[in-house]
Chain A
Amino acid sequence: GAVVSQHPSWVICKSGTSVKIECRSLDFQATTMFWYRQFPKQSLMLMATSNEGSKATYEQGVEKDKFLINHASLTLSTLTVTSAHPEDSSFYICSAETSGGTDTQYFGPGTRLTVL
């Protein structure tokens, strides 16, 4: 149980285009999902917390107009990188928090974004 999928697993795009990444909880409902960015050989950097039916909460320094988050249902959150630039190239990982007092999050497999 507690499986989280991410799509696509990797994407290459041209500078200036927008890229959408989907995060789905496959076998549980997640009122809260998280989006992380990870640079090589570093830990996870929280970008934003996504709550179903409400606006995402962004961490300091993360541009909300650049990284659009939509949490339309209890099993799906999307991250759209708008007008992507080479410096946005990174490994993006989502996670979903199980409810019911367990305070545990399960990660997706990640999306490798390369902006040319």
Chain B
Amino acid sequence: GQQLNQSPQSMFIQEGEDVSMNCTSSSIFNTWLWYKQDPGEGPVLLIALYKAGELTSNGRLTAQFGITRKDSFLNISASIPSDVGIYFCAGYNFNKFYFGSGTKLNVKP
């Protein structure tokens, strides 16, 4: 089946630093989505990307839909303690969503 490889698995950074994480796949996707999940809660949509090459920002977050349609990255600038959580990428194709394994972000004040 289609799988997404998300990296890194976890990150420990200092408040104020920038963060980058990415997802790659051997398959092409029509849509890339990035979610954040806090403990005990459902994932919250951060950014949705619908076109190859698309670069979209949401506050301090920026995500890009790779030109090959097989990858996407998420950047967080000037991280703050509330950025702590698990970030998931998701690809959509053939009426199905596929999820990465998540990137756990830890931010030290």
Contact = CB atoms under 8 A, between A and B. Distances in A.
Q: Do A and B come from one complex?
A: yes
Majority SS of interface residues in chain B?
strand
A34 interface: yes
Given A107-B42, A108-B42, A110-B41, A43 B101 contact: yes
B7 interface: no
A106 interface: yes
B45 A104 contact: yes
Contacts of A93: 42-43
A72 to B, nearest CB: 21
B11 to A, nearest CB: 15
A85 interface: no
A44 B99 contact: yes
Majority SS of interface residues in chain A?
strand
Interface residues of A, number: 23
Contact of A44 (B43, B44, B92, B96): B43
Interface stretch (B13-21, B28-36, B55-63, B64-72): B28-36
Contact of A110 (B30, B40, B95): B40
Contacts of A106: 45
